[in-house]
Amino acid sequence: MSATRYAMVVDTRRCVGCNACVLACKSENSVPAGYCRDWIVEEVRGNYPHLSAEIRSERCNHCSHAPCVANCPTGASHIEEGGVVLVNHQKCTGCKACMAACPYDARYVHPEGYVDKCTFCIHRVRRGEDPACVSICPTKTLHFGDLDDPNSEVSQLVRTRKSKVKGPETGCDPNLFFLV
């Protein structure tokens, strides 16, 4: 039985930072008002008129060595199929140790009390659909798939194009790759 390693690839060349991914995620996952599971970061460097820009759609990196999972005292933060990092709402005490552990500040406290974050829309993935953000993205910036499958789109993109991850020095081994 082959292992599965879910990953997402973000093509920063194409991303225009429209926020369709943010709102589609909120809609699909009933994310409460005032919170978001994914977000856009726009970085512009330089002095006028010598400027360059990068736009990224970010979310939880579903790290292969997730410090949030290591730090969780109840096992609420755990790793599911495909390496997806999930929070079991029934086990979460809201201690927020995971939020302190996450170097990416990817989590938030849901008004109902448990800690919440991007789930890679695993409920959709199980049905053979893409995560909501990937489905909606008008610029086809987002790609989702199995990194352990050498023929998957994400594998090919990561192999053939220059890419980076956020905070590689953390040693968390993020699975969100930004094509530059």
Partner 1 sequence: MWQALAQSVPVEVTTARANAHVDPSLHIWESEIPIYLFLGGLAGGLLILSAVLAFMARREGKPVAKAATWMPFTALGLLSIGMLFLFLDLAHKFYVWRFYLSFELTSPMSWGSWILMLVYPVGILLGLNLISEEARSRIVGFCPLARAGLPSPLCWLAAKAKKMNTGLWGLSIATGIALAVYTGILLGANGSRVVWNSALLGPLFLVSGISGAAAFLLLFRTDPDNEKRLLRFDIAAIVAELVLLGLLLIGYGNAGVGGRFAAAQFLGGPWSGSFWGLLIITGLILPLVLETSEQRGRVHASKILPIVVLFGGFMLRYIMVFSGQPTSIVQVAGF
Partner 2 sequence: MKVSGGTAAGGVLFSGLTTKWWGADKDPIPDPGTDGKIVPSFCEMCFWKCGIHAHVQNDKVTKIVGNPDHPLSRGRLCPRGTGGLGLLYDPDRLKRPQLRREKDGKQYFEDVSWDEALGFIADKMKKLSKEHGPESLALFSHGKGGSWLKSVVKAYGSPNVGAPSWAQCMGPREVGFELTFGSGLGSPEPLDLHNARCITLIGSHLGENMHNTQVQDFADAVGKRADIIVVDPRFSVAAGKAKHWLPIKPGTDTALLLAWMHVLIKEKLYDRDYIARHATGFDKLVKHVEEKTPEWAFTKTGIDPELIRASARTMAAARPASIVHPGRHSTWYGNDTNRMRAVAILNALLGSWGRRGGIYLKSSMDLAPYKLHEKVGHKITKPAADRAKDAVIPFGGESLVQGFRDASFPGYAEYDIKAWIVYGTNLIQCLPDRKKTEKAIQNLDLMVAIDVLPTEITGWADVILPECTYLERYDDLWAPGYIEPFVSLRQPVVKPMYDSKPNWWISKQLAKRLGLGALFPWDEPEEYLRARADASGISFDALKAKGVVHGRPEPATTEEGVELTFDTPSGKIELYSSLMAEAGLDPLPTFEPPNVGPAGSFRLLFGRSPVHTFGRTTNNRMLGEIKSENEVWVNARAAKELGLRQGARVVVENQDGAKTGPMKVKVTQRIRPDCVYMIHGFGHDDKRLHFANGRGGSDSDLITKAAVDPAVGSTGMNVNFVTLEEVMS
By CB under 8 A, how many residues form the interface with partner 1?
50
Shortest distance (Å) from residue 105 CB to partner 2:
18
**Which segments within 20-141 are labelled E, that is strand?**
38-47, 50-59, 77-79, 85-87, 108-109, 115-116
Binding-site string for partner 1 from residue 94 to residue 133, where x marks contact by CB under 8 A and - marks none:
xxxx-xxxxxxx-xxx--xxxx------------------
Burial class (CB in 10 A: 0-12, 13-18, 19+), 28: middle
Q: Closest CB to partner 2 among 100 and 168?
A: 100
CB neighbours of residue 132 within 10 Å: 21
CB neighbours of residue 152 within 10 Å: 20
- Residue 161 DSSP class: S
Element (H, E) at 21: helix 20-28
Q: Which residues bind partner 1 (CB under 8 A)?
A: 19, 22, 34-36, 39-47, 67, 70-76, 90-97, 99-105, 107-109, 112-115, 164, 166-167, 169-171
Q: Which residues bind partner 2 (CB under 8 A)?
A: 11, 13-14, 16-20, 22-24, 26-30, 33-34, 36, 42, 44, 46-49, 51-55, 75, 78, 80, 86, 88-91, 119, 122-123, 126, 132, 135-141
